[in-house]
Amino acid sequence: MDCLFCAIIRGEIPSTKVYEDESVFAFRDINPQAPTHVLVIPKSHIPSVDGINGENAVEVANIFRVIPKIAAAEGLSNGYRVISNCGADACQSVKHLHFHVLGGAQLSDKMA
Ligand code: DGP
């Protein structure tokens, strides 16, 4: 399957990894939008939030167990934002489910 993030998980494309376990992978965004910008992804290929279902919900839930650990390790004690773009109107550019974790500065009060 020709998926950029699957290739990153396999190590075929280099990335700056910040976390990995049996079902979750996290790495620094190549185009950071905040001082800390980490992408947290499932190792399974789920195309977007629209692809979350009863069969992969545990894997997705694990992402949300990991995000606070990553935030703490990154020193985001003053808060952070979690975003997932889904589909064209949201400008999703990589069709592998990912959660942006943004922090390290005061973020905009506007989300769109
Ligand atoms: P989105 O627009 O929500 O689909 O976010 C995709 C993000 O992926 C975007 O912020 C840039 C990031 N990205 C794209 N290609 C690469 C890459 O090759 N390496 C890394 N580390 N990040 C990438």
Residue 60 inside a domain? The answer is yes
Residue 91 belongs to a domain? yes
- The pLDDT, as a whole number, for residue 33 is 97
Tell whether pTM > 0.95: yes
Share of the chain above pLDDT 90, in %: 98
Is residue 93 classed exposed, middle or buried when 0-12, 13-18 and 19+ CB atoms within 10 A define those classes?
A: exposed
**Structural domain total, the chain:** 1
Residue 52 lies in a domain: yes
Question: Average per-residue pLDDT in the chain?
Answer: 98
User: How far is CA 16 from each of CA 2, 6, 27, 71, 104, rounded to the nearest angstrom?
Assistant: 21, 15, 5, 16, 18
Q: What average pLDDT score do residues 10-39 get?
A: 98
Confirm whether 108 is domain-assigned. no
**pLDDT tens readout for residues 60-105:** 999 999 999 999 999 999 999 999 999 999 999 999 999 999 999 9
Between the CA of 30 and the centroid of ligand 1 the distance, in Å, is 6
Q: Which atom of ligand 1 is nearest to the CA of 95?
A: 4
Please give the positions annotated as active site: 98
CATH of the domain at 58: 3.30.428.10
Q: CA-to-CA distance for 72 and 92, rounded, in angstroms? A: 27
What percentage of the chain's residues is helix, strand, coil (to nearest 5)? 25, 20, 50
Which residues does 25 contact at the CB level (< 8 Å), separation at least 6? 8, 9, 17, 19, 40, 41, 42, 43
C-alpha 32 to ligand 1 mean position (Å): 9
50 found inside a domain:
yes
Q: Which residues line ligand 1 (CB under 6 A)?
A: 4, 13, 15, 27-31, 39, 85, 91-94
Could you tell me the distance, in angstroms and rounded to a whole number, from the CA of residue 29 to the centre of ligand 1? 6
Q: Whose CA is nearest to atom 14 of ligand 1?
A: 30
